[in-house]
Amino acid sequence: MTDATTEATHSGGSAGAVPAEDPTAFGWLNTADHKRIGRLFIACSLLFALAGAIADLLVRFDLASSSDHTVLNADSFVQVFTFTRDALVFGMLIPLFLGIAIYVVPLQVGAPNIAFGRAAALSFWGWLVSAGVLVGAYIANGGPGGGFSDGVDLHLLALAGLVISLLTGAICVAVTTLTMRAPGMYMDRTPPFAWSALVTASMLVVSLGVVLGQIVILYIEHRYGPRFLGGNYGIWSRIDWMYRTPQLFIYVVPVLGVVAEIMLAAARRWVFEPLALYFTMGLVGLFGFGAWANFGITGEGDDIVDGLEGIVLVGLYAGALAGVSGLLALLGFTLWQSRNRPRPRSGAVSLTRPNTAVVAAFGAGTLIAVAALVGLIGAGVDWLQIAGRGVDGNAPLRFTTWVTGQQSLLIYGAGLLGGLAALHWWAPKIWGRRLSELAGFASLLAIGGGALLAWLGPTLSGVFTEQPQFVYGAPLLTTRYASQVDDSGAEGLSALGAVGVVIVLVGVALVVLNLLVSVAMRKGAATEADPWDGLTPEWLLPSPPPLGPAAALPELTSGTPLLDAELNGNGLDGTGAAAERDAEEVPA
């Protein structure tokens, strides 16, 4: 895309305007450049990953003992329990992939900058300030069920600030993908990660808009109203759907985009049907819409309502499983097609020479599929149990630590592994240096293995132990659960989950250490523009691209210009799909 084309495409629109960048350290405070904003989101979200994992560890240590609180007291248990969910979802999972999208998506679609650069900067600073206020509110005993009334108000305001900030960033990414693509790049030719970011941003606007309205109502009711919604004790039941499935599937759609990017680069081949690739990602986002599952409003516990929700839950999990399985099958078939394709050069990534990004991407995609399958089984069991309510007296799985297991699988497993894959894949483009492969594989094993243990412990406990119904559905009714369980095996299973979180915490610490050594201390190997033999347009640019507007790109007619050049042998002017069809006639 030439400078003239860029100017003509974006003339008169503030979305493409880029203020001059201050190269000094002060420039990080007033930046409107998507590359700096993305780096800020990534760095701070990893710190929240550490904080959230530590808080989760404290909760699980307490659940591993039925005698008394081992770390926390009766008041702090609920506060740390809810803070864990806030930190891992709004502090780590969403902003991590939002930061990667803010950095990468404009480069992938040939945009000079993120749409509404100042709004994107406001998104980060608003998120950071709100996160700090949220931590302060929890310290002041102001979370859900907190004893300090003004602190509860502060918690609701901070949560609203987080939602507004993340929505602002998501809108910037969506507008960039929809309106600032290079001439010739149509929506059905966008790179997979850009498409996954658009799907997630669209669903966040729909779902987080709902929770924002709920937070406003809760704030007014708590501060000025007659407390008809339960006051501080009614907050959690109206917002907890944000932290569990099916809503969690929306947050991990970008992971599927990362998986597709890396696997297609390893195959050195484009999918035979791009629309199927985009459709399966959209299907996961659509069936992940969880705003309807607000049990504080829908009347949880009523047989008729539960029966209808059971049907819908089974359908949503089945749809999400179909989307994930379809995407993985499509990528697997593409890899199988390329099994005899010669590698263009020794540095190119492939399944025969897997690096951290390839293995982590494979693991993340697999865990999303497992989470969808396990969720479908659990929803089916709950649905069948409704018909026999009163026979065994067991709580539905969605009200036990089964939910904590699902969260661990998607947040620790798919989320962190997908983030690890993305950071190793785009580290040369973001920072100009490769991350250590030794530290990368160590963190991969720690995060993957720890996530499985963190999932297995609470999941088995939810299935095989007699848990009271308010363990997860209404944790404010009790600060203990192990003492309510007749089966002593619950302690051991909770301890197993705690060990898993410890291992995950070690893995996240290794990721942070790897970034500090390889990037901050500049020990990582400096790279060329395209160290992996990537396919998508960002690999045409220097690593890292200079501050300010992106360098001029040629006119793009597909999301895989480097693959087009390799297959056509005559520049960057062919569509990836057409080039692939032509290549079918040429022996490998």
Q: Kindly report the CATH number assigned to the domain that includes residue 497.
A: 1.20.210.10
Q: What is the pLDDT of residue 578?
A: 37
Q: Are 272 and 340 in contact (CB under 8 A)?
A: no
3-state secondary structure of 435: coil
The domain in which residue 140 lies consists of 26-583
The CA distance from 434 to 514, in Å, is: 10
Model pTM? 0.88
Q: What is the pLDDT of residue 525?
A: 85
DSSP conformation class of 388? T
Answer whether residue 16 is part of any domain.
no
Answer whether residue 13 is part of any domain.
no
Answer whether residue 45 is part of any domain.
yes
The CA distance from 401 to 463, in Å, is: 9
Orientation of helix 253-267 relative to helix 274-287, angle to 10°: 160
Answer whether residue 14 is part of any domain.
no
Q: What is the count of structural domains for the chain? A: 1
Give buried/exposed letters for 441-452 (b at 16+ CB in 10 A, else e).
Answer: bbbbebbbebbb
Q: What is the pLDDT of residue 414?
A: 95
Question: How many helices and strands, by DSSP H and E, does the chain display?
Answer: 20, 0
Answer whether residue 244 is part of any domain.
yes
Interior CA angle at 363 toward 375 and 131, to 5°? 75
| Nearest to 37, CA basis, from 106, 130, 85, 133 | 106
Q: What is the pLDDT of residue 297?
A: 44
The CA distance from 524 to 483, in Å, is: 50
DSSP strand E in 417-467: where? none
Q: What is the pLDDT of residue 307?
A: 58
Answer whether residue 419 is part of any domain.
yes
Q: What is the pLDDT of residue 263?
A: 93
The CA distance from 550 to 544, in Å, is: 11
**pLDDT tens digits in sequence order for the chain, 588 residues long:** 333 333 333 433 344 444 567 777 788 888 889 999 999 999 999 999 999 999 999 988 887 776 666 777 777 888 898 999 999 999 999 999 999 999 999 999 988 889 999 999 999 999 999 999 999 999 998 888 777 888 899 999 999 999 999 999 999 999 999 999 888 888 888 999 999 999 999 999 999 988 999 899 989 888 887 666 666 677 887 888 889 888 999 999 999 999 999 999 988 888 888 899 999 999 999 988 865 555 444 444 444 345 566 677 788 889 999 999 999 999 999 888 877 766 555 556 666 678 899 999 999 999 999 999 999 988 888 777 765 554 444 556 777 788 889 999 999 999 999 999 999 999 999 999 999 999 999 999 999 999 999 999 988 888 887 765 544 545 544 444 444 544 556 778 888 999 999 999 999 999 999 999 999 998 988 888 888 888 889 998 888 888 877 656 667 777 778 777 777 764 443 333 434 433 443 333
The CA distance from 85 to 448, in Å, is: 20
The CA distance from 334 to 338, in Å, is: 6
Answer whether residue 533 is part of any domain.
yes
3-state secondary structure of 526: strand
